[in-house]
Amino acid sequence: QVQLVESGGDLVQPGGSLRLSCAASGFTLDLYAIGWFRQAPGKEREGVSCISSGDGSTYYSDSVKGRFAISQDNAKNTVYLQMNSLKPEDTAVYYCATDWTLSCSFYYTPSRRHFWGQGTQVTVSS
């Protein structure tokens, strides 16, 4: 079965850290670009970060640059999102997705046409 499964979401205090995982089954992650997205209540889904193992490119939104880091473990067929210095505005459901290409251009425009995981909740609150 082809699927993406996110995990690692939790309740964390401001300034804390979390590492999210996006595990793939039924296909090989390093053949495609993988993006992380998030959606807060009442807001549109937005791209957070993307990695393309084709050329090792990584991308970050301005709101998370310098605080989040995306990485990939091909042996585990998993992409990670290390989130540091978390802020209350980082609270959202986080999703990983792919559009079945090696380009990260899809991460700028989230779409129902992309292949999504089920999401994991991240709550940043004291």
Q: In this predicted structure, what is the pLDDT of residue 44?
A: 96
pLDDT classification of 53: cutoffs 50, 70, 90: confident
Distances (CA, A) of 63 to 33, 39, 59: 21, 14, 12
Per-residue pLDDT tens over the stretch 71-121: 999 999 999 999 999 999 999 999 999 999 999 999 999 998 999 999 999
Per-residue pLDDT, averaged over 21-38, amounts to: 95
Q: In this predicted structure, what is the pLDDT of residue 125?
A: 97
**Residue 55 pLDDT more than 90?**
no
Q: In this predicted structure, what is the pLDDT of residue 54?
A: 76
**Residue 56 pLDDT more than 90?**
no
Whether 83 contacts 90, CB under 8 Å: yes
Whether 96 contacts 36, CB under 8 Å: yes
Per-residue pLDDT, averaged over 36-63, amounts to: 94
